[in-house]
Amino acid sequence: KANYNMLRVWGGGTYEADIFYDLCDEAGILLFHDLMFAGGMYPGNASFLRNVEEELTEQITRLRNHPSIAFWNGNNEIQEGWDNWGWKGNMTEEVKSLLYGWFEDLFLELAPS
């Protein structure tokens, strides 16, 4: 009844080729786009965070001007695990702040509202 169509690009999958986004733009199909993080707690070490920063910089910069992307989702079910499955219980406050704050800062830099 809202008169729009939306697809989800799932976080356990892959970033699609440019043609996919071009066709969604042309057809007026909106995308709920996950980043490729799904269902698990990822390491917070410097090497992994550098890898994530490179991935997000490349993908978000490549895709952010597509009008079909209506919504970016940063973590599939990771927020649920963080809040309710005890994942953060094994981490120090410093590590929790690093992981959560680092991701939020990076995302806001690359995909401002």
List the catalytic residues.
77
Q: How far apart are CA 42 and CA 95, in angstroms?
A: 12
Q: How far apart are CA 93 and CA 108, in angstroms?
A: 22
Q: How far apart are CA 12 and CA 44, in angstroms?
A: 19
Q: Which of 62, 57, 70, 60 is nearest to 25 (CA)?
A: 70
